[in-house]
Structure 1
Amino acid sequence: MKLVKSKMSILFILLMVTMFALIGCSSNSNNGQPTQNEPAKEDTKLAGEIKIDGSSTVFPITEAVAEEFSIENPDVKVPVGVSGTGGGFEKFIAKETDINDASRPIKEKEATAAKDAGVEYIELKVAFDGLSVLVNPENNWVDSLTVEELTKIWAPDSTVKTWSDVRPEWPNEEIKFYAPGTDSGTFDYFTEEINGESGAIRPDFTGSEDDNVLVQGISGDKNALGFFGYAYYEGNKDKLKIVPIDNGNGPVTPTFDTIKDGSYAPLSRPLFIYVNKESLNKSEVKEFVTFYLEIAKDIVPDVGYVALPDEEYTKGLDLIK
């Protein structure tokens, strides 16, 4: 009886060894590849290129977002151009870009051109900006300007040549004018708010879509006067003097708080990105725009602008789902 039990134990052990060996062979036979009943895992690594152009004002935000996105997605190229809002819309409508940075809403003629070209888009607010009026730090006479004085200075038929033409007690020194180029959304917004018509402005100014050029011009000339987005002042405080603006309730300096609550008027404004709907079919573009809206509230203050309320970014995320 003991001999029978011993033989049965040996047979049981041999059977178990054989089963484990078969399992091991089966596992090794497919070299780690999925079996017919096990689907292959998808490679979710993003790659490709996201083409962006447009506003120099929105550029610092988009560039900062692109840099953060590239850290997590090194195989995705995100070049960000600066052709101005209008120049950017031209490329966007021609389907040369996926996203357009814009410091103003799209114009009716641009929207019509986009429709005719078969370009459907989504408008997304990303920040608030306070369009800022700047002079040279050595200018010790301008402590504020009224909206009426800005109109007097910048109107197409302006006769202002010297500071004393603005206020008699100011120096009889010729003003050097600096402004964003005509393709700039900042140019459009300022001229519309101050002169009552987009594009209406005196002709004798030095213009550029690159706000860094304007910074250099104003910081290098004691009698310079210009305007551009708040972030470029924030990044060059040591080279520029910001001018409080009086809209009838006393001079107000653009700050994060006055821009956010709208008391810096009439030069507070929203900033946008426009996204081609067709481009959202590309996973890298959709992931980038999602990433943009998710981190904008942290990035925007870092580059000198005012973040939107959280619900505004949530609305944007809902639009791209």
Structure 2
Amino acid sequence: MKRLFLISLVAVFALSMVACSGKKASLTGNIKVDGSSTVYPITQAIAEEFKKANPDLNIAVGTSGTGGGFKKFVVGETDINDASRKVKDEEAAKAKENNIEMLELEVAYDGIAVVVNKDNTWVSDITVEELKKIWEPNSTVKLWSDVRPEWPKEPIKLYGPGTDSGTFDYFTEKVNGKEKAIRTDFTASEDDNVLVQGVAGDKYAMGYFGLAYFEENADKIKALKINGVEPTVDTVKNGTYKPLSRPLYIYVANKSLERPEVKEFVKFYLEKAKELVTEVGYIPLEDSKYQDGLNKIK
């Protein structure tokens, strides 16, 4: 009986060891992410979920804008850069100088919403030409009536992302025809919440930022149709919301991907993106694009 008991005990111990060996150990270390305030809500949501299984892992997610983030990324200060535009040639060249090889991964679709105050009753639709007239360098538009005579003879107050923002780069290129070409007399901030508050607090204000931030604050501000098309999930995904629809990216340093915590985090990002992108108000990619990303990092 004693011998049978010992054999059983050994068997139970062996089975428990097998079960334990099949369980993944919690990851440790530090992952540094910076970049786009537009992509931030996605990355932050992914990081929070990933940390549930890896509580000893530290993931720091900053929001210094796409360009501000690339300044850190190309000198090796961060592992991942959130980006609301593609990397620029000069940024890629700087990374090459510093032996930083990078992997570009699409993570979601987004639209840029042009927004006005809730009490704005005179405009619900605006053309790209009118946006250019308002926002172009040396614009002569001071009053709403300078755009259309029937609009109020009241000063137009403008709010937009700062110059380090990928949203700023994208908007100026698509609306004004040249990246970073814009009038200078507007309130700029890398924090989209500051822009929301500015527009929400002024009846005669106009601003622009990522669609997700509008949807979060749709009770405070309203989005304009562009050339008759409303910014929605469907119009952004099918490309009819022109010209302010775009893909969003993360850029990962190849050297960082050699660390298990970074590689597993990026894999988790692509595997969970479809679900979490929707939860934070963005538009998921097609399944095949997420799979392409996973194939790249294998």
TM-score (norm 2): 0.93
Structure 1 residue aligned with 2:74: 93
Q: For 1:169, which of 134, 150, 154 is the aligned residue?
A: 150
| SS of equivalent to 2:60 | coil
Which of 27, 33, 43 matches 1:62? 43
Equivalent of residue 289 in structure 1, options 259, 266, 277: 266
Aligned counterparts of 2:221 and 2:48: Cα–Cα separation in 1:
27
Deviations 1:151-194 (A, max 9, x none): 10000021000000000000000011100000000000000001
Inter-partner Cα distance in structure 1 for 2:164 and 2:26: 37
Counterpart check, 1:151 vs 2:132: yes
2:61 partner SS: coil
Aligned ranges for residues 68-107 of structure 1 at < 5 Å? 68-107=49-88
Aligned residues: 291
1:257 aligned residue: 234
Aligned position for 1:269: 246
Q: What amino acid is the match of 2:165?
A: S
> Per the alignment, in what secondary structure is the counterpart of residue 108 of structure 2?
strand
Distance 1:287 1:123 in 2: 16
Contact 2:26 2:53 in 1 (8 A): no
Q: How many angstroms does 1:223 deviate by? A: 0.6
- 2:196 equivalent to 1:215: yes
Tell me the alpha carbon deviations over residues 31-71 of structure 1, each in whole angstroms, 9 at most, x when there is no partner: x89xxxx9x95973211111100000000111111111111
Question: Where do residues 1-321 of structure 1 align in structure 2 (5 Å cutoff)?
Answer: 20=3, 44-246=25-227, 251-321=228-298
SS of equivalent to 1:88:
helix
How far 1:197 sits from its partner (Å)?
A: 0.8
Task: Extract unaligned runs of 5+ from structure 2.
Answer: none
Partner SS for 1:52: strand
- Which deviations, in whole Å up to 9, do the C-alpha atoms of 1:115-158 show, x marking residues without a partner? 11110000000000011100000010011110000110000021
Distance 1:44 1:306 in 2: 33
Identity of aligned residues (%): 60
Once residues 89 and 66 of structure 1 are traced to their aligned partners in structure 2, the CA distance between those partners, rounded to angstroms, is 20
Instruction: Return the TM-score normalized by structure 1.
Output: 0.87
Q: Is the 8 A contact 2:26 2:55 kept in 1?
A: no
What's the CA shift for 1:302? Answer: 1.1
Give, as a single letter, the amino acid of the residue that structure 1 aligns with 2:205.
Answer: A
Q: Per-residue displacement from partner, 1:92-122 (whole Å, max 9, x unpaired)?
A: 1121110000000000100100111110000
Deviation at 1:89, TM superposition (A): 0.3
Cα pair 2:74 2:94 within 8 Å, conserved: yes
Q: Which of structure 1's runs of 4+ aligned residues deviate more than 3 A?
A: 40-43
Q: Distance in 2 between matches of 1:304 and 1:141?
A: 28
Q: What is the distance in 2 between the residues matched to 1:155 and 1:45?
A: 52
What is the alpha-carbon distance in structure 1 between the residues aligned to residue 174 and residue 37 of structure 2? 19
Cα-Cα RMSD: 2.1
